[in-house]
Amino acid sequence: MTKEQEILLQEGKMLPIMEHFYTIQGEGAHTGLAAYFIRVGGCDVGCHWCDVKESWNPKLHPLMDAEQIAITAASHCKTIVLTGGEPLSYNLDFITAKLKDLGCTIHIETSGAYPLSGQLDWITLSPKKTKLPLDEIYQKASELKMIIFNNHDFAFAEEQAAKVNPNCKLYLQSEWSKRSENYPKITDYILAHPQWQASVQTHKYLNIP
């Protein structure tokens, strides 16, 4: 990486992009909505069941011009999802300002382990035990998405739900490989704790990105 690229990366004018694509949102409150996903490379949270571990090393993904990515995304639709990796590892002020100039609504999917940056309309917070969210993010989360891998994760989900704002939507979602085992448990849990809702990775059933 050149010195100039380092500066542009710090300013958020270039970002390591693993992929960007137009698809349908598969999870959470906006399931079924057309959206343009921008997947940023780089994450040190290290969740063992992550289904995009290839995103962890930012050096594997090319630095791309953030303005051009924004223009491309906005040409497809006006709902943009910033995901990763961990997008808040980077300064998102520049790319989100450009997206706003282009009339976009901006969603982000984050572990909450890094400070918020940029103009964000919807924050999907998915806490990980390995690196918990910062206090500031709990109160700004729009939805809390808790991944259920084992039985202890229900207790962890309640611990995290106690920290978010009262208007935050609460979702339980099975880790994909254990879905046949976990969704019966999730169903029973939601029936006993109706403040929660079920989230399913519908894009995997639809065989889309």
What does the pLDDT average to over 58-68? Answer: 93
Assigned architecture for domain 3-206: Alpha-Beta Barrel (3.20)
What does the pLDDT average to over 54-81? Answer: 94
Please provide the DSSP assignment of 10-70 as one string: HTTSEEEEEEEEEEE--SGGGTT-EEEEEEE----S--TT-S-GGGS-GGGS-EEEHHHHH
Q: What is the pLDDT of residue 185?
A: 98
Q: What is the pLDDT of residue 142?
A: 98
Q: What is the pTM of this model?
A: 0.95
Q: What is the pLDDT of residue 37?
A: 98
Grade residue 137 by pLDDT with cuts at 50, 70 and 90: very high
Residue 170 has phi, psi (to 5 degrees) of -115, 125
138-160 per-position pLDDT tens digit: 999 999 999 999 999 999 999 99
In the chain, where the domains are located: 3-206
